[in-house]
Structure 1
Amino acid sequence: MRFISQTSSDGVTEQLFTLDEVPGVLWTPEDAAGARPLILMGHGGGQHKKAPGIVAGAHRFVTEGGFAVVALDAPNHGDRPKTEEFTRIVAELRAGMVAGEDVAARLATMHEFLAEQAVPEWQAALTAVQALDLVGAGPVGYWGMSMGCGLGVPFTAAEPRVRAAVLGLLGLDGLAEAAAQVTAPVQFLLQWDDDRVPRAEGLALFDALASADKTLHANPGKHGEVPEFETGSALQFFARHFG
């Protein structure tokens, strides 16, 4: 793990790093010392580790919860090179969208392709960050919407260190097997008028999650119109499950 830069503002310290050539960012309270809960944040498709929604959420988790937060550039996103296979998958997905097709299966193919690489990368990042004195081996949560959910479901299923997850804005396609292995508490977000994910598919994914402790938050609005108060709700959810 190699740190590249460090800046601080408004009570938050931001450190950019690379881990085996995977670019990431760590946010902690300014002058943080000692162990604390850690939130891993997965960005959406076409975004990157410092997308505005990720940064805004991370700052709230740090300043209001005292948590540490990590985000990584997903494979083929952000500062990472795009492979020929990924470019082909995205081109087929976009062509289907333009043609007005149901692209759920194509979207699932893209997420499965990315998750194969992203899950072990997240596990390695979790191990490396928890080895830092200012983070430590405290409780871990995962937050991810849309593609962040598509990669987060298999990661949460595979990683027992994740004690709670906030997921949503995605359907069941390609995730049934992994969802059946998610047993950590989940708070699931669904946009009732989602223009990308059919409501029934989002409800099906929520239903498929094996967690005995899961809550559905449904709000009116389209895919990108999640109310701002849901960040505060996620903060309360993590704090409750971290004790």
Structure 2
Amino acid sequence: MALIRGKTARTLITLCVALLVAITPVTTALADSGGASPGDQPGHKIKQPDQESGGIVPGQPKPRSKKKASKKKTTKKKSSKKKKTVPKKPTVAPPVITASFPVWGVTWTYGDADMRFGAGRSGHIHQGQDVADAEGTPIVAPKAGEVSWTSFQEGGAGYYLVLRGTDNRDYVFMHLQKGSLKVRIGSIVKAGQRLASMGNTGRSSGSHLHFEIWLGGWYEKGGHPIDPLPQMKAWEKLPRRS
């Protein structure tokens, strides 16, 4: 029994040595090639491809994109106080002028008796009323109408014009200032509109307006003059510009 045990022990030792010799080259080859299983190298973790490339790891929530903070619009709170409304003053329309004294001014005069209608003249009578004032004093339309005549007469009326009024009367203005006419034949004018300026042209001894009123048209219509003074007295009471 002792002999068998000695042989058996030697046989076992020999087998162990043979196994060691057989295993050693394989272990050495693995060590030389650097190959090892993941479990043989503690502390070394294998990265997933998605983690290395920045991709999304399956099972994990997708990263949220950063959004720019939206600016909140600040709305001003409307004041609860009501603004006091100031009532507007009613606009007053300017008065409509339907008639006007033919001379704008405050220093005019009717003159002496020989400046009145009907005063004797050489070969005829005075057919109008003279109004004296400074040269350049505005002459205006006493009524609305249309200018039917403008001309010049050296030895008589000087620069003059005829206004055919909408009231079927003709109004004649003589001895007007040279170059002062603001209208021409065919001009439509309103009452109070400026026509010319007072002058001293033609047969005249001083600055004045010779004013006539005709019924039935002027000379070319075969009408006749009337005394303008009563009508002028009525116009005196109307508002006029100075």
TM-score (norm 2): 0.22
Whichever of the two has the greater Rg, that structure is 2
